[in-house]
Amino acid sequence: MSLPFEPAEWRKIGTDRRRTGTWMQLTATLFDELQAIEKIAPRAASASRRRAETIRDVLARHLSFKRIAVYLDDAQRGELVLAAATNKSGMPEALERLCVVREPESVLEQCDPPAAHVVPLASSKEVLGALILGGGGQEVLDESGRSSLRALGAYLSALLAASRLASEVRDGDFQMRLQMWELESLYDIGLSIASMLDMGQLGDEILVRTMSLVNARRAALYLRQGQRFGLHQALGGARAQFLDDELSADSVRAILEAGEPVAFEKGADCIFPGCETLVAMPIRSSSGEVIGVLAAADREFRDGSVGPFEEGELRLLNRFANQVSIALQNARLHRDALDKQAIERDLELAGSIQSNILPRGLPDTDGYEIAVLHNPARQLGGDYHTFFERDGIISACVADVSGKSVPAAILVSALHAALQLLFHERRPLGEIAEELNRHIHRWSSESKFITFILATIDRRAGEIRYVNAGHNPAFIVLGGKVETLHSHGLPIGILGASRYEAQTRPFPAGSLLALYSDGITEANNVEEEEFGPARLTDILTTNETRSCAEIRDTIRDAVHEFAGEAPQYDDQTVVLVRTSA
């Protein structure tokens, strides 16, 4: 019996060496050892080489061939590659796949010196590799030897096919899990970032998820600033302005106009210095407006190289950008709400300060009855009133600052401070008005002014002195008759050189003075009719005999009833002063 196998152990068996049972036992040992290739981790980068080395080593231990070369299929190269050999010298580095099956003689001739045997390793569908054997006195085999080689080839082919199948199953499983992970990630990301309201934290999470999802090495988030995109956050270093040069103007236009992703295979450097590939994905609001750009760079591959992003990744990134859009809008709305809350807190504080400017109580001076209505339209009002009491004489002031809210409140504060100083300097009313005018004109903006009336009522002298700087006419009511104290100067703050001269009128005991702001007489109803001065004087004369507080309440109720459902646009102030003997 002529065998191609000359196992090392064979020689030790001595007289039993040619017994069929012994040969079968040794062959089974060889086959058992070859099964080690099944245990090699299929995903490892070196798996193919290690399989070949295992085959080489097992064959070298059990066969008498001196030259053993193992070729395995390289899918990327599309040929069989020399993966292991007892001696690579003279062996071709690669073989054509079909050549080992169809033209074995030509394969053998490629070896130097020519080898004796080529054993194709193939399944019914594909060539998986080949063995080239030679030397060791086994150049010529009989039919039995050739059969043994075919059996060895079939066995190895089965092992390699099984390994390949296991690898494909694992790859398939990995891909399926990867797709599941992508879907889960998109879902998770939606939940996670939609609830993130801090823009910094949100930006970080978006970038981390982006890189993870599309295997990018770098990522950046740009937010739109007019016709440009400003860098909000980046991982891996990005330029501050997105595509901020003439060369990339077309790309920016494409993103803004079409909302299409822009993939760069060249010129990616425009966002990430030194990067090789880039995709810029527009982030569109629910109304379709491009509000930002999500950029990812340098898509990684398993072999360590970087390359362009693929169709599936662009689709994934596009879906992710939709969720980023929702999250960004949520965060912005939240930030706006916080800003609004801060403003409201400021307004509340300013309103509190302003309410402290207004008198907390009314002067309790013999011979004077006083009532006040102060009904601001907003937290911060433009109406102002105050009283001074000196030597048993009451002075009352009502002013109305142009504008609303914070600017008006600031001017009210300035008026209050200046008026307090000037009045306590015991200056005449006209001079007080002129000083106020110069002060306000100098320090306030051009469009700001104050209508102002300041009246001093001396009940013992039975007279009233007043300055009316552009304010609504005041009324003196006595015995059903109404005297009007018209304005006799420009409002405070309009013209720095304005002059004001105090006016004097009789004010006998029992006279009722009514100062008010235009929020009373210009209060509108739903038909946009004004309350008007006539209704006010009618109330004053009709209710003249009632207490000031009762008259004030009557005015308040009448205005309220007149306005009905119409909103109050302006502050409403009424100051009533009546003297007694």
Interacting residue ranges for another protein, rule: CB under 8 A: 39-45, 173-174, 177-178, 180-181, 184-185, 188, 192, 208, 211-213, 215-218, 235-236, 300-302, 304
Burial group, residue 380, by CB count within 10 angstroms (0-12, 13-18, 19+): buried
Nearest to another protein of 113, 273 (CB atom): 273
CB of 236 to another protein, least distance (A): 4
Which residues, including other chains, have CB under 8 Å from residue 334's CB and lie 6 or more apart? 197
CB of 316 to another protein, least distance (A): 11
Q: How far is CA 220 from the centre of its chain?
A: 12
CB of 297 to another protein, least distance (A): 10
3-class DSSP assignment, residue 161 = helix
Nearest to another protein of 140, 169 (CB atom): 169
**DSSP run (H or E) holding 297:** strand 290-300
CB of 306 to another protein, least distance (A): 9
Nearest to another protein of 36, 350 (CB atom): 36
Nearest to another protein of 212, 525 (CB atom): 212
Nearest to another protein of 216, 513 (CB atom): 216
DSSP conformational letter for 91? S
- Please report, as a single letter, which amino acid is at residue 418: A
CA distance 319 to 175: 19
- For the chain, the C-alpha Rg in angstroms (whole number) is 49
For 215-231, give the DSSP string: TEEEEEEEEEETTEEEE
CB of 133 to another protein, least distance (A): 29
CB of 178 to another protein, least distance (A): 5
Q: From the CB of residue 262, how many other CB atoms can be counted at a distance below 10 Å?
A: 19
CB of 128 to another protein, least distance (A): 21
CB of 309 to another protein, least distance (A): 13
CB of 121 to another protein, least distance (A): 23
Nearest to another protein of 301, 581 (CB atom): 301
Residue 361 φ/ψ region, left for φ over 0, alpha for ψ in the -120 to 50 degree band, beta for the rest: beta
Which residues face 218 on adjacent strands?
297
Nearest to another protein of 179, 504 (CB atom): 179
Nearest to another protein of 140, 183 (CB atom): 183
Beta strands in 324-424 (DSSP E): 368-375, 383-390, 393-401
Per the listing, tokens 């420009």 go with 490
Nearest to another protein of 220, 492 (CB atom): 220
Of 481, 472, 475, the residue nearest 541 (C-alpha): 481
CA distance 62 to 29: 9
CA distance 156 to 27: 13
CA distance 162 to 34: 13
CA distance 111 to 88: 10
Q: From the CB of residue 425, how many other CB atoms can be counted at a distance below 10 Å?
A: 10
Nearest to another protein of 185, 405 (CB atom): 185
Q: From the CB of residue 98, how many other CB atoms can be counted at a distance below 10 Å?
A: 12
Nearest to another protein of 173, 260 (CB atom): 173
CB of 279 to another protein, least distance (A): 15
CB of 40 to another protein, least distance (A): 7
CA distance 68 to 117: 10
How many Cα atoms sit within 13 Å of 437 on the Cβ side? 25
3-class DSSP assignment, residue 192 = helix
